[in-house]
């Protein structure tokens, strides 16, 4: 049985956040030499969830997960695939006007 699909459903990593697709501010992108135009902004964070425990905060803009580009909320979901569950992966984020790296351990998303 595939590790990605179990019991007829796709396995996804869970980090306990809500996100929205946002533009990377142009002046910050130019100053930091960021080429991508969009990312996934954290709009909500679950207390004691994996993202909260790693130090991520609301309004952080996620640009990469495990060295894969995140150009929006949909990309973030795709990058939280079964292969990141149970590992600690790098999240590169824009916080205010600085690039920062956080280490997050995604858990398996529970069925509704």
**Domains of the chain, residue spans:** 5-103
Predicted local distance difference test score (pLDDT) of residue 82:
87
Cα 112 to chain center, whole Å? 21
* Secondary structure E strands in 1-112: 5-6, 9-10, 13-14, 17-23, 38-45, 61-65, 68-69, 89-95, 98-104, 107-108
pLDDT value at position 1? 32
For residue 78 the two structure tokens come to 């795709």
Q: Minimal CA–CA distance to 82: which of 15, 17, 2, 4?
A: 4
Task: Give the pLDDT score at 12.
Answer: 84
Which residues in the chain land under pLDDT 70? Answer: 1-9, 111-112
Per-residue confidence (pLDDT) for residue 7, from 0 to 100: 52
pLDDT value for 109: 73
pTM for this predicted structure? 0.87
Written out in words, the top-level CATH class of the domain with range 5-103 is mainly beta
**pLDDT of res. 11:** 80
Q: Would you state the pLDDT for residue 3?
A: 46
Q: Which pLDDT score, from 0 to 100, does residue 9 have?
A: 63
């Amino acid at each position: 049985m595939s590790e990605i699909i179990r019991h007829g459903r796709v396995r996804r990593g869970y980090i306990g956040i809500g996100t929205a697709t946002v533009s990377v501010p142009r002046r910050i992108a130019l100053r930091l030499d960021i080429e991508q135009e969009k990312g996934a902004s954290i709009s909500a964070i679950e207390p004691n969830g994996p993202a909260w425990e790693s130090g991520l905060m609301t309004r952080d803009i996620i640009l990469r997960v495990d060295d894969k580009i995140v150009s929006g909320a949909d990309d973030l979901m795709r990058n939280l695939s079964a292969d990141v569950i149970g590992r600690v992966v790098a999240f590169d984020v824009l916080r205010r006007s600085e690039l920062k790296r956080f280490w997050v351990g995604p858990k398996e998303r529970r069925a509704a």
